[in-house]
């Protein structure tokens, strides 16, 4: 930026009032000083980047003369770019903490242990020590004795104790599989919180509108709108609580597997088999005898009815035979 100051002064004339002349000179000097103070900071960058043109020296002469004759002005303000590069500003920026991401962490751990019962008790003690909870436990013996017995445990612990819990559980046996997954829900939390704030503001505005007098229809419409807003608030609030709970507590899916398979039951000897078979046969005979004896008791109890039925059948058959026999007519003697 170039600044050219040209002062065209008319030929001197006798001034009848020397006091007014000195006041005018002082005002001009102050104006030129302020103009130079504003123009110099912006011109400094152009002059430092390149060489000055030939007429720059002549333009500086009036400015220097004015600066020496005028009172000293205040220093120009420092540019914002230079202020941001100062050590104090960089130190403050470094001290500003970044937003911590909100993560939902889930871990999986598979162990081979010597004893499932002892390991299960150890897992319970570790979870209690880490202030966690056991959400589920399943231990089922395999149908085939050649398959290893396994047990699965679902654990929930505070997120800050997740690594400590995993290290303690890994010491119970040999680690076969270990995995850790994390889901970032920071944006969901921020979005839900913003929506919740806006809904609460809308609720306040609707409540203020309800305080005003109006027709019954308007009051009903405002009440319906208020009910919808409160329903949305409750739904988003529940989602926020669920997300925060999942962030605060991490889950661990633990699988325990026995080191050896279940022992096969030895087959019984021949004598033991014969003894078991004889015992089953005698038991079956006894059951059959008791069954027949019970049947005889039932028949004896219902014998009067059986006799009546038999007598009725006999009488009916006899009556039928008597009526079915044809009568024989005697022959008449000859006349």
Long-range contacts of 295-299 (CB under 8 A, 24+ apart): none
Strands annotated E in 197-264: 249-258
Which tens digits make up the pLDDT trace of 14-46?
Answer: 444 444 444 445 555 545 554 444 444 444 434
Q: Where are the domains of the chain?
A: 18-80, 99-264
Q: Which pair of structure tokens corresponds to residue 43?
A: 């011109």
pLDDT in single tens digits along all 335 residues of the chain: 444 444 444 444 444 444 444 444 555 554 555 444 444 444 443 443 344 333 433 333 333 433 333 334 444 444 443 444 444 444 444 444 457 889 999 999 999 998 888 899 999 999 999 999 999 999 877 776 667 888 999 999 999 999 999 999 999 999 999 999 999 999 999 999 999 999 999 999 988 888 876 788 888 888 888 899 999 999 999 999 999 999 999 999 999 988 875 555 556 677 888 888 888 898 899 999 999 999 999 988 998 988 899 899 988 888 888 877 555 555 556 65
Integer Cα distance of 206 and 198 in angstroms: 12
What is the 3 state secondary structure string of 23-92? HHHHHHHHHHHHHHHHHHHHHHHHHHHCCCCCCHHHHHHHHHHHHHHCCCCCCCCCCHHHHHCCHHHHHH
Integer Cα distance of 59 and 2 in angstroms: 8
Integer Cα distance of 300 and 174 in angstroms: 73
Q: Which pair of structure tokens corresponds to residue 290?
A: 């008791």
- Element housing 17 (H / E): none
What pLDDT does 268 receive? 67
Integer Cα distance of 143 and 150 in angstroms: 12
- Element housing 141 (H / E): none
5-43 as b/e: b if 16+ CB within 10 A: eeeeeeeeeeeeeeeeeeeeeeeeeeebbeebbebbeeb
Residue 182 DSSP SS3 = strand
Burial of 245 (0-12, 13-18, 19+ CB in 10 A): exposed
Integer Cα distance of 26 and 21 in angstroms: 9
């Amino acid at each position: 930026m170039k600044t050219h100051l040209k002062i065209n002064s008319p030929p001197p004339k006798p001034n009848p009032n020397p006091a007014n002349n000195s006041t005018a000179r002082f005002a001009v000097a102050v104006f030129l000083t302020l103009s130079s103070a504003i123009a110099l900071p912006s011109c400094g960058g152009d002059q430092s980047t390149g060489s000055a043109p030939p007429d720059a020296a002549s333009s500086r002469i009036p400015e220097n003369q004015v600066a020496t004759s005028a009172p000293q002005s205040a220093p120009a303000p420092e540019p914002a770019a230079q202020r941001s590069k100062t050590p104090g500003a960089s130190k403050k920026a470094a001290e500003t903490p970044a937003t911590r991401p909100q993560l939902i962490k889930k871990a999986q751990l598979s162990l081979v242990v010597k004893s499932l019962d002892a390991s299960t008790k150890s897992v319970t003690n570790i979870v209690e020590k880490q202030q966690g909870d056991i959400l589920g436990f399943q231990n089922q013996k395999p149908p085939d004795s050649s398959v290893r017995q396994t047990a699965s445990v679902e654990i929930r612990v505070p997120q800050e104790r997740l690594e400590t819990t995993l290290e303690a559980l890994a010491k119970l046996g040999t680690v076969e599989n270990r995995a850790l997954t994390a889901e970032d829900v920071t944006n969901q939390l921020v979005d839900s919180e913003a929506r919740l704030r806006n809904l609460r503001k809308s609720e306040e505005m609707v409540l203020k509108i309800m305080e005003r007098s109006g027709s019954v229809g308007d009051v009903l419409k405002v009440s319906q709108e208020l009910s919808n807003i409160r329903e949305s608030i409750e739904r988003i609030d529940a989602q926020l609580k669920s997300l925060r709970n999942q962030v605060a507590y991490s889950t661990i899916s633990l699988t325990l597997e026995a080191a050896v398979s279940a022992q096969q039951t030895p087959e019984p000897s021949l004598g033991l088999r014969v003894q078991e078979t004889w015992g089953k046969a005698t038991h079956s005979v006894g059951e059959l005898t008791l069954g027949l004896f019970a049947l005889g008791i039932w028949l004896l109890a219902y014998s009067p009815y059986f006799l009546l039925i038999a007598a009725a059948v006999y009488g009916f058959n006899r009556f039928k035979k008597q009526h079915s026999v044809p009568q024989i007519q005697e022959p008449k003697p000859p006349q």
